[in-house]
Structure 1
Amino acid sequence: MEKGEVVRRTKLGPAAGGGGGRGGGARRPKMGPGGGGADLISALPEDLLLQVLGCLRCARAAARTSILSRRWRGLWTRLPDLVFRGVALRSLQAALASVQAAAGPVGVTLLDMCVPDALLHSVREYDMPPLLHAAAALSPVDLRLAVGEGTQRLYVQVEVPRLPRAISVELQGLDLVFADPRRSWLGFPALETLSLTGCRANLTDLVLRCPRLRVFRLREDHGAHHMNIIIRSSSLQELHVDTRIPFTYRIDIRAPALKRLAMSFSTSDKIIVLVSVLAPMLETVSWRCTYSTVSARFGLWGLSEVRLQTEENNGHGGQLPPHVNVLSLFVAADDSYEFPEEVSLRTEIEKHMVTHFSVLELRVETWGHVFGAFALHILEMDQISTAIQSLKVILLSSEDDEACPQNCPCEEPSNWRSQTISLTNLEKVEIKGFQGEGHEFDFLKLVFRCAPMLKTMSVRLSDEVTASNDDCCKKIHDVFKMYPFVECNVIVDLSPDSSHGGAST
């Protein structure tokens, strides 16, 4: 689409035979240029002419039709769908004024406007509010306004007007304020879908003005302002939040009808995010928190990411439903971490348990350290020990791993091997990256001892342990033989594309 163009779209349909539209009655055919024949196209009903203009999908071509005859002049302003791209702001305001004069009280169906980065240098802050109010005067059903499409953000402050017919609204690059009292009929009484990208707004105030809101999307990937995501809605069914700036302080959601939640945010060691989610009808979740610096620990183990996601039940367990919620913890060992003493690893993990889950996934960068004490610390958490039916432990190592020094804190508490916890619902365990170290066998025995309902156990050897390492495989099978009622498997990767499995029962 060329710069400076205006595009109108309209649905194709049968045109009325004798007229239709505003002043759309059939007219007497006019003579063509130089009297060479009748102008049959101009004689078509207005509804059909609008369909022709809609199919052009090019403002420049549509504007040129105005020179054909008076019949075509300004006809584009009567189309129900209008898209502006790369139009100077003053020209855009003038175009909206022309559309308003043509549309009258009927309004438009779609109004899509974008002021690109290339034109932002000429935009003044007091230019934007009149544009948004001019757009509201057209009473669009679907409104889209983007100020800047790249990395530039002006956060132009605008007072949000009333949009009584709007069902869908998408805004980008604006600082939204409200001058009227908080009453839904003064805001967006018909709005069902709201999308904000790079916008500042009081989300609590905004959502309360949308009594029929069903889908809310929020994205922020630039800026240095702090965010509080506080939402109260009795109608909201889908919430999608993606913020990549590490300044989220509070997430507080009360949405009794919410069925789908997607939340992605980041934080740092200087911010402790307060999380509270009340959504009893939640069906699917995609929750992700990343830490720009490690902010919670147990011993030398630090938390770098937490996920809680709804996934297909690809073999997590035969008794589990088709879809399961998986809690994934990403941790790493590093004695160079400096942690604020008030941050507890368990407390940090618990606040991300915004819904039930039945699968726990531990991704551990060991760096040669003993992970058993840490894993036990996680497994004995009340909300984990009673909930999990499937456990997956992924041990990540590298060639730079070094042996633990004597009296390494990774062994604390030192009696972890002899402890027993209750994992009464655990049915399936998978351990990947098993290297055959003594402490790994100790952890394996611990899981067997603590999971009386265990049905399957799979141990996948790391790349460093080859199929020729019969001693490691023999030791694993010796452990398996102690639990004959559990289906056990040892998996050895022979090549990137093949694997070998052995089972003992």
Structure 2
Amino acid sequence: MEFPSARRIRRSPPPPPPADAAGSGGGPDGGDRISALPEDMLLQILGRLGCARAAARTSVLARRWRGLWARLPGLTFRDVPAGVVREALACVARPSRPRSPSSPPLRGVSVLDIRLARSALREAAKHDDAQAKSLLLAVAAKRISPKELVFFPPRSYVVKPGRRVEIAMPRFLRTTSIELDAHLLRIKLADAELPALERLSLSGNIVDLAAFLNRCPRLRVLRVTYREVEPSLLEAALVALEVPVELGLIVSLLGIEFGHAHGNYDVEDAQFASILHAAARLSPRELVFINNFRRCLSADLPCFRNATSIAMTLRFVCFTRLMSADRFSALERLSLVGCTVLDLATIVNRCPCLRVLMVKAHRSAHDFTMRSVSLQALELGVHETECKGIKIATPIFEQLKLSVHASSDLSVSVSAPMLEKVSWRYIYTKSALVFDLWFLQKMEVDTTEDYKYKDGEVINEGKDACPQPLRVHVLSLHIIAHNIGSELNFAREMEKLLVTNFIVLELHLNAKRHAIAAFVLYFLSMHQIRTTTQSLKIVLPRWSEMSKCLKKCPCNGPKNWRSQTISLIHLEEVEINNFRGGDHEMDFVTLMFSWAPNLKRMTIRLMSGMKPNDIGGYAMSIYNICLVYPSVNFCVYLSSGELVPCSSKQYDCARVVIGHN
């Protein structure tokens, strides 16, 4: 896109509105009433577009709009190439004094927000950094000097060997707020002059920040993220910031990130601990620490007294204990990923204001005990070790997300009377026997929001849909036909779950050529299942070749399962995916209608790889079963999602089309 030339800008008076015009559009004579508005109102219209490129395109509407965008008080460029931004800024006039006492002064840009686009071609992307560097210098050379400047160079996917590209902070005399995210580029601050600067946000490879702050007498708030700074230089940079902090500088955000594209740094325990303590002495309001170190580290965790948010993603780091008995008195959000905290309960007890806690523990953590009067949301993940026990007690708990690897003897105790949303991932380290040859691999519980359920009943979509989504509990079980594993008391496993009213039940059955009908009958007969389930979804494996089981295979028993009766009075929806059409599955579909008298919808999705000549026959057999139950909405789909028609003529057409494909 080409921006209009600065020579076309004219400050001509607006044309008079037509006398007989009415309404918000043009009058009967075709007059343009919007263009007749005062300039301030037109600038407000352009400002609402939120994009300088879109505002510039209005120049084609009428003479009045030409170049008007260049006088906007705020210019925003999102995902725009550097060359286009440079061309646009050439049209922007810098502030000047009025030519006469009666004429108003020419206002400059107060907000300049530039977030450059990354080049699509890898060859061109190598020059993105140089173009970004040149553009920032061009902004200063034009003397635009906005009060607020946001500048994001493109985040290139090209890893450049050798010396880093340096992006220099130029001279801005009027600017009071700067946000510069240079990603992995080196930020050079030695020659910068910003006498009016009050708020500064920098992200990149920075080493000379403390010396620069001495030339910013009005700076009060600092947000800084050090990326890929060599550990010894980082430690020195943090120590140098202590003097400005003692003089009143507020560190709103302190970020430390290692391990991106330019190599991994190796540190010793003492140096890592020294960096942590230097960061604590700066009293940041928010701390983000990310590392990718290549060796295991141990350290004491210092206290960040003023921090309201701490997020640490630290590989192979073990926090042995708290450095002091001080409290994290302001901490509201805590995230610990990858690292190990041997005394997490003590940390939680010393955070009286903690509301949100996320812990994804390393392999040496086994038991978790948490008691808090302020905690509202918890996300706990234990994947690299076997979790032994979970004990949680909090009176105002609202959200819980657990994901653990554990055996069937996991001890769970949760006291949370106000719990509303639950997400539970229980992955068994050893397959646990449920019935005959069926073993439980994973059990999941999710609380989702659904518009289809109202007062415990499934309702139609459209005008009858619930205006506010209701929380629905979904129980999902991943079960495999196996011959090795330990016995499992499934009823006891269900007692570990924090909710019991499962409206939706999902069975993922890795049948391995075994029949599933007898097992599903056994499972649906359980009191906890048949008394609450309203929607049943069965997902079978996708492989196409299915050999018959042995005559004495346990999957065929009990022999009288076809004559058994269960009452699923709440079940209203059934969905079967990867349906194969065998005798057991056909009998199961038939019996579902007698077991669920209130069934309203059944959906069957055929297995992929089915022979085209078999699809019509299976579909006809299924539809014939449904003819006896006209109140049920019944649909058969191909694996591709196409609906298989129900008339005999359409069957023939479907065979032809599918066979042709």
Fold match by TM threshold 0.5: yes
Which residue number in structure 1 is paired with residue 348 of structure 2?
Answer: 207
Partner Cα distance (1:350, 1:13) in 2: 62
Are positions 1:483 and 2:483 aligned together? no
Which residue number in structure 1 is paired with residue 188 of structure 2?
Answer: 61
Partner Cα distance (1:394, 1:424) in 2: 22
Are positions 1:84 and 2:232 aligned together? no
Which residue number in structure 1 is paired with residue 476 of structure 2?
Answer: 328
13 and 178 in structure 1: CA distance in 2 versus 1, 3 angstrom threshold: farther
Q: 1:269-284, aligned counterparts within 5 Å?
A: 272-284=409-421
TM-score between the two structures when normalised by the length of structure 2: 0.60
For 1:129, the aligned partner's letter is A
Per-residue CA deviation, residues 393-426 of structure 1 (Å, 9 max, x unaligned), is 2222524422110111113333333222332211
Matched residues, number:
445
Overall identity of the aligned pairs, in %: 32
SS in 2 for 1:499: coil
Contact 2:363 / 2:383 at 8 angstroms: preserved in 1?
Answer: no
Shift of 1:491: 0.7
Query: Mean Cα displacement is larger for which, 272-281 or 169-178?
Result: 272-281
SS in 2 for 1:94: helix
For 2:303, the aligned partner's letter is R
Per-residue CA deviation, residues 348-400 of structure 1 (Å, 9 max, x unaligned), is 45534546431001121222212122112221222221111111122225244
Which residue number in structure 1 is paired with residue 276 of structure 2?
Answer: 132
SS in 2 for 1:231: strand
491 and 310 in structure 1: CA distance in 2 versus 1, 3 angstrom threshold: same
Higher relative contact order (CA 8 A, sep 6+): 1
Query: Mean Cα displacement is larger for which, 77-86 or 135-144?
Result: 77-86
280 and 375 in structure 1: CA distance in 2 versus 1, 3 angstrom threshold: farther
328 and 145 in structure 1: CA distance in 2 versus 1, 3 angstrom threshold: same
Shift of 1:490: 3.9
Query: Mean Cα displacement is larger for which, 471-480 or 436-445?
Result: 471-480
Are positions 1:113 and 2:256 aligned together? yes
Partner Cα distance (2:367, 2:547) in 1: 43
231 and 49 in structure 1: CA distance in 2 versus 1, 3 angstrom threshold: same
**Structure 1 runs not aligned, ≥5 long:** 3-11, 16-40
Q: 1:145-224, aligned counterparts within 5 Å?
A: 145-146=289-290, 148-149=291-292, 152-158=294-300, 160-173=301-314, 174-176=317-319, 177-181=321-325, 186-201=326-341, 202-220=343-361, 224=363
SS in 2 for 1:396: coil
**Structure 2 runs not aligned, ≥5 long:** 1-127, 130-144, 149-170, 196-209, 461-465, 648-661
Are positions 1:100 and 2:242 aligned together? yes
Contact 1:461 / 1:490 at 8 angstroms: preserved in 2?
Answer: no
Partner Cα distance (1:96, 1:474) in 2: 74
Shift of 1:95: 2.0
For 2:330, the aligned partner's letter is A
SS in 1 for 2:241: helix
Shift of 1:62: 0.8
Contact 1:360 / 1:391 at 8 angstroms: preserved in 2?
Answer: yes
Q: 1:203-352, aligned counterparts within 5 Å?
A: 203-220=344-361, 224-267=363-406, 272-291=409-428, 293-311=430-448, 313=450, 317-318=458-459, 323-334=471-482, 337-341=483-487, 343-352=488-497
For 1:189, the aligned partner's letter is S
Which residue number in structure 1 is paired with residue 643 of structure 2?
Answer: 499
Contact 1:303 / 1:330 at 8 angstroms: preserved in 2?
Answer: yes
Contact 1:207 / 1:233 at 8 angstroms: preserved in 2?
Answer: yes
Which residue number in structure 2 is paired with residue 361 of structure 1?
Answer: 506
157 and 414 in structure 1: CA distance in 2 versus 1, 3 angstrom threshold: farther
Are positions 1:142 and 2:286 aligned together? yes
387 and 277 in structure 1: CA distance in 2 versus 1, 3 angstrom threshold: farther
Partner Cα distance (2:481, 2:212) in 1: 73
468 and 198 in structure 1: CA distance in 2 versus 1, 3 angstrom threshold: closer
Query: Mean Cα displacement is larger for which, 250-259 or 374-383?
Result: 250-259
Partner Cα distance (1:347, 1:394) in 2: 25
SS in 2 for 1:207: helix
Shift of 1:139: 1.3
Per-residue CA deviation, residues 421-478 of structure 1 (Å, 9 max, x unaligned), is 3322111112233333222233223322222322223333334265765554454344
Shift of 1:323: 5.0
Question: Highest Rg: 1 or 2?
Answer: 2
Contact 2:366 / 2:389 at 8 angstroms: preserved in 1?
Answer: yes
Contact 1:217 / 1:239 at 8 angstroms: preserved in 2?
Answer: yes
SS in 1 for 2:396: coil
TM-score between the two structures when normalised by the length of structure 1: 0.76
Shift of 1:258: 3.1
Are positions 1:380 and 2:525 aligned together? yes
For 1:114, the aligned partner's letter is E
Shift of 1:330: 1.4
